[in-house]
Amino acid sequence: MTSKVEKMALPVGVTLDRFIKKNQGSFQFASGELSQLLRDIALAGKIINREVNKAGLVDITGALGTSNVQGENQQKLDVIADIRFIRALKNGGEVCAIITEEEDEIIYTGNDDAKYVVAIDPLDGSSNIDVNVSIGTIFSIYTRVTPRGTRATKEDFLQGGRKQVAAGYILYGSSTILVYTTGHGVNGFTYENSLGEFFLSHPNIKSPEDGKIYSVNEGNFDDFYDYTQRYIMSCRKKRMSGRYIGSLIADFHRNMLKGGIYLYPPTPSHPQGKLRLLYECYPMAFLAEQAGAKAIDCESDILDVTPISFHQRNSIYVGAPKMIQELELFFKERAKYIIKEARFEKIED
């Protein structure tokens, strides 16, 4: 039996910093720049964590009264997180340009020599801020395709999900956790407030093969296509647990650890789906694949969807591989349904 003193003297664990350093060698042509960039993101995450934690104390909650580029109400913390992230990435020096869910144009950092571009959703699920529900930051990193020393262009960002070199999220929940992948598995680091450090707490995250949780905004049920409705009804029939926080990262994180599926299908108000391809769908899909889960829309793997614009939206179904397989059977039905419809139209002609 370990004595109380021995327990207290146990090592505190692997810090994010040490983990990044140790694993730097597994990056192709590692030069330390990606490692430094991940550290910069972690630093911004610590700062936002501080802001989020005092959200109820100072006058920073609630709507700002302005809208972002997509006409949605911006929360004050949305704006603060946006500013904090951009500043951290500018000061870090490893990023030449940034796009964020909150702004329309490319943000140039002034570091044209830098190798990477980053797409971020600085505070996702922000309608949950005022009510103490989990929110998070999502990031996605690409190696630029334009030559170093020149100005980055939209081609640097519109490379497609498979070109991501790293992606991750920081979830500000019952504790703050940073989860990321560089294409060599997924690891999670919990923030230890008193030491001001992220420690490896969830090494090599793997999604269960199957699960019992489905996460969808069921208030939209009547708006979903027939085949999606039938899938949801099958989940109900199996007495699966419905769990929907309304913060993608929180729903995703829980499902990844416990086994589940998250769905955001198209609706009349969001005919392409609501979530943004570059800021939300691609990074979650990269993480999901690396954790042995799957992310699709009705047509293909999310990572194969062609990007056209920065703020393009997409439907997404992401979760345990067996659950996605089952959903795909319902999508196949959809194909039949469409073929039937087409035939029917033909006969009528």
Nearest to 79 by CA among 94, 98, 64, 89: 64
Identify which range of 102-110, 119-127, 214-222, 249-257 contacts Mg ion by CB under 5 A: 119-127
**Is the four-CA dihedral 91, 96, 101, 103 of positive or negative sign?**
positive
Would you count residue 126 as binding ligand AHM (CB under 6 A)? yes
Total residues interacting with ligand AHM, rule: CB under 6 A: 11
The residue (of 72 and 209) whose beta carbon lies closer to ligand AHM is 72
Contact 86, 107 (CB under 8 A): yes
Residue 335 and residue 312: Cα distance in Å, rounded? 24
Report, in Å, the least distance between residue 273 CB and ligand AHM.
10
Return the residues of window 271-310 that contact ligand AHM according to CB under 6 A: 274
Of 207, 247, 314, 315, which one interacts with ligand AHM (CB under 6 A)?
Answer: 247
Contact characters 195-224, ligand AHM, x per CB under 6 A: ----------------------x-------
Identify which range of 21-29, 116-124, 173-181, 287-295 contacts Mg ion by CB under 5 A: 116-124
What crossing angle do the helices spanning 282-290 and 248-258 adopt, rounded to 10°? 10
Residue 347 and residue 344: Cα distance in Å, rounded? 5
The residue (of 36 and 127) whose beta carbon lies closer to Mg ion is 127
Report, in Å, the least distance between residue 3 CB and ligand AHM.
46
Query: Under 8 Å CB-to-CB from 180, ≥6 apart: which residues?
Result: 38, 166, 167, 168, 169, 186, 187, 287
Residue 321 and residue 260: Cα distance in Å, rounded? 9
Contact 97, 112 (CB under 8 A): no
Would you count residue 121 as binding Mg ion (CB under 5 A)? yes
Report, in Å, the least distance between residue 207 CB and ligand AHM.
18
Would you count residue 124 as binding Mg ion (CB under 5 A)? yes
Query: Which two tokens mark 47?
Result: 């700062």
Would you count residue 242 as binding ligand AHM (CB under 6 A)? no
**Which residues in this chain contact Mg ion in the complex, by CB under 5 A?**
121, 124
